[in-house]
Chains A and B, each alone.
Chain A
Amino acid sequence: MSYVFYPGCSLDSTARDFRLSTEAVARALGLDLPELPDWTCCGSTAAHQSDPLLALALPAKNLLAASGRTVAVCCAACYSQLKTANHRIAAAPEARAQVAGVLGADYDGSTPVKHVLEIMRDDVGLGEIARRVRAPLTGLRVAAYYGCLLVRPPDVVRFDDPENPTLLDNVLAAAGAEPVEWSHKTECCGASCSITKVEIVERLAREILTMARDSGADCIATACPLCQLNLDMRQRDIEARSGDRLGLPVLYFTQLLGLALGLKPRELGLGSLMVDPMPVLASKGIVAGRGLAVAASVSVRGQA
């Protein structure tokens, strides 16, 4: 299958490690992910809250530029915007006509959009991933966190079960990890309030982090740059305010999968996470102890 990669804004900034690890994993699996040239922002929450037509036109501009190739996405918010635009444009002729009026070109809503997790499942195959694992994540208990926009609204995204999704759990299991049963797989982290009302985000993130820890997880795996940022960057503030020690690394699933495929921590950007994952990974024998902590700090300096 032929893909074109739509990284989205976060993957060039706060989630550059998601991009690094996604591209490293894609190379290791023989997937070609050329970047869509001159892609523009999907409009995210600001667009759908402000202007419904803009919220269709911005994604449609990118989907049209993909010229029929499957658009590969990492960010759950981009994924939601692109899938919603496809859904509305394909279902409502008047929406399609309006978008054509804005873009000056007709778009029929048919460009396929896939999250990298779906690509792992449908096009690479979980069996193939398991076959390629060289350093299984044995003994690592992971809370698979899906958040909102990958799974909801189900009729639009058609990703997995909206209440108890298992795709991320299955990918982690294929990498040899042990997904934990837990209650907060699809609870909201409050990302859309991350700048405008931090209190909401801290309360929601605390619930998610606490439930993951109490379910016996060593770390959390995410598939969304906004979820990762909230759970990782805000964890120290949450600990300080609640007096409850969490110390839970929050990794992109591509970082964990990359380790299992035999890639180095530096190639996966592990050094740019806020909560250091190295102690947990070393305690499970997934990375060597001291040597890799040095490699991680080197990679931090290299990226700065």
Chain B
Amino acid sequence: MTTAARALVPAPVALDGFLREVEAASGARAVLCLQCQKCTSGCPVAAQADIKPHELVRLVQLGARDEVLASRMIWECTSCQTCWTRCPEAVDLPAMIDALRRLSRSTGKVTPETAVPVFNDIFLGTVRQMGRMYELGLMAAFKLRTRSFRRDFDKLPAMLRKGKLPLLPPWVRGRSERARLFRRARQLGSEKR
């Protein structure tokens, strides 16, 4: 069914399992969407997206679980908050998309076209270990994992010369306390879910 045809299907009266799941995980009231398309009109990445923001909400309403969780859009959203700011029904799309990202990962549906989960894992691993970002280490680890060695490599000499990429990692005190914080967040978060 094309997206245009889907838009003609009446909104489900009973809450579908997927819709309920996404609403519970995000706090976003996706059921309220009117399909006015204000979100898509203001979205910086909609023009190149596989599923546009208003379509994403519609597919969640309709329970198109696999299509949504395997989409590129949930990883290309820049979290700019424009959609939510302008939505007449105050549907918190950024929170909904964050929940879809987690669901996509936990169900193994992540599209091979994105490197965002790899980046996020390295980023948070750095924070857990060191307390702050260590750009050189992050870039090296990311490039090793994604085999994207040439990208932005030309910027390295100038960034180093201008002192914008410190060579030494920023060790902040309290490493075991941070490890506990990360562990507790994961435990308590999964108890809730």
Contact = CB atoms under 8 A, between A and B. Distances in A.
Contacts of A192: 78-79
B166 interface: yes
Given A149-B81, A153-B81, A162-B85, A300 B161 contact: yes
Interface in A1-52: 9-10, 12-16, 38-41, 43-52
A13 B138 CA distance: 13
B132 interface: yes
Interface of A is mostly: helix
Contacts of B182: 54
Nearest to A101: B188
Given A57-B185, A187-B44, A196-B114, A45 B79 contact: yes
Contacts of B101: 49-50
A272 B162 contact: yes
Given A49-B101, A61-B181, A196 B188 contact: no
A12 B132 contact: yes
Interface in B136-176: 138-139, 142, 151-152, 155, 158-166, 170, 172-174
Contacts of B158: 274
Contacts of A44: 123
19 contacts: A14-B135, A14-B164, A40-B127, A41-B127, A41-B133, A50-B121, A52-B98, A53-B185, A54-B124, A57-B181, A58-B181, A98-B189, A102-B185, A152-B81, A153-B84, A153-B85, A196-B114, A200-B48, A272-B163
A78 to B, nearest CB: 11
A257 interface: no
Interface string A146-166: 001100111000000010000
Interface residues of B, number: 56
Given A40-B178, A162-B85, A46 B119 contact: yes
A46 B188 contact: no
B40 interface: no
B115 interface: yes
A98 B189 CA distance: 8
Nearest to A103: B181
A196 B163 contact: no
A203 B47 CA distance: 11
A133 interface: no
A14 B127 contact: no
